[in-house]
């Protein structure tokens, strides 16, 4: 949707360009925050055997 907002803002008046940064910054910032917070909320993964351990146990 940012592409549509950008295209429209270029041909609209100045007020659209002034607000355009929010359509680009907000999703990028949200993704970055989610990338940092998710490991804390989800916790560490359970200990699963690695490929090397699985081969040696056969």
* 53, part of any domain: no
* 34, part of any domain: yes
Query: pLDDT tens digits, the chain, 58 residues: what are they?
Result: 566 677 777 788 778 778 888 888 999 999 999 999 998 898 876 666 666 655 666 5
* 58, part of any domain: no
* 18, part of any domain: yes
* 21, part of any domain: yes
* 54, part of any domain: no
Q: How many CB atoms lie within 10 A of CB 23?
A: 15
Longest dimension (CA), the chain: 69
Domain containing 7 equals: 2-43
């Amino acid at each position: 949707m940012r592409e549509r907002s950008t295209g429209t803002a270029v041909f609209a008046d100045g007020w659209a360009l002034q607000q355009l940064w929010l359509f680009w910054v907000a999703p990028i910032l949200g993704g970055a925050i989610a990338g940092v917070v998710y490991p804390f909320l989800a916790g560490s993964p359970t200990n699963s055997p690695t490929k090397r351990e699985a081969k040696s146990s056969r």
